[in-house]
Amino acid sequence: MTEWSPQACKKIAVVQGDITREQVDAIVNAANRSLLGGGGVDGAIHRAAGPELLEECRRLGGCPTGQAKITRGYRLPAKWVIHTVGPVWRGGAHGEDQLLASCYRSSLDLAVEKGVRRIAFPAISTGAYRFPLERATRIAVREVLRFLSEHPGIEEVRFVCFDSGTYTVYRKVVEELCGER
Ligand code: ADP
């Protein structure tokens, strides 16, 4: 038996672009444990959402690695921002794979709780946190496919790749796991 349904494969999309422009119910932020903003996608989301986002984040008291917290999206097209904290890559023997998988599951759990139907993810941990891209992509796609198989309320999960190298790897991994769609 496969770990996911063929329907799950039809609900995922890989696109290249800027996640702050995604017109979905929720976008996911690759945040750090303070939740007080940073570089990369985190900085882009805070700039696009406006200062109210930081104000709400200050009240959350941070977030442990592998978990997620949700705020409003303010000036973003997305109604919600789900902030998750990916693991810093330290060679792979420090629970990095499990923590990264947990980021995707925790984010999707919060999405379901809020009735989110369409959600966009960045390539969590693959920038400043240096998680090897292909390994991270396999974890991301597999966890999302498993989750979708059990939660029919989520209609679309978009993997938003900022650069063409990331886009190519996501396309390859989705084809490996789902075949030609
Ligand atoms: P982390 O600290 O979790 O590694 P980064 O923000 O450094 O997070 O990188 C995660 C991924 O997000 C990288 O692939 C990076 O290129 C990408 N990224 C940066 N800005 C954006 C953006 N505006 N939209 C989507 N992805 C982005």
Q: Which residue type is seen at 85?
A: V
71 close to ligand 1 (CB < 6 Angstrom): no
Using a cut of 0.95, tell me whether the model's pTM lies above it. Answer: yes
Give mean pLDDT, residues 41-58. 98
Q: Which of 28, 29, 41 to mutate to test the pocket of ligand 1 (most atoms within 8 A of CB)?
A: 41
Per-residue pLDDT, 134 = 98
Per-residue pLDDT, 180 = 74
DSSP assignment string, 45-88: HHHHH-HHHHHHHHTTT---TT-EEEEE-TTSSSSEEEEEEPPP
- Please give, one letter per residue, the 3-state secondary structure of 83-124: EEECCCCCCCCCCHHHHHHHHHHHHHHHHHHCCCCEEEECCC
123 close to ligand 1 (CB < 6 Angstrom): yes
127 close to ligand 1 (CB < 6 Angstrom): yes
Q: Name the percent of the chain lying above pLDDT 90.
A: 95
- Residues 90-128: pLDDT tens digits? 999 999 999 999 999 999 999 999 999 999 999 999 999
86 close to ligand 1 (CB < 6 Angstrom): yes
User: How many whole angstroms from 16 Cα to the centroid of ligand 1?
Assistant: 12
Share the mean pLDDT of the chain.
97
Rounded (10°) angle between helices 133-150 and 96-113: 40
How far apart CA 116 and CA 95 sit, in angstroms, is 29
How far apart CA 172 and CA 135 sit, in angstroms, is 12
Give mean pLDDT, residues 134-142. 98
User: How many whole angstroms from 162 Cα to the centroid of ligand 1?
Assistant: 7
The token duo for 147 is: 């989750």
Q: Is the pLDDT of residue 1 over 60?
A: no
Beta-carbon contacts of residue 160 (< 8 Å; ≥ 6 apart)? 15, 16, 17, 18, 19, 22, 27, 120, 121, 122
Per-residue pLDDT, 85 = 98
Per-residue pLDDT, 3 = 86
Catalytic residue status for 25 = no
- Residues 74-94: pLDDT tens digits? 999 999 999 999 999 999 999
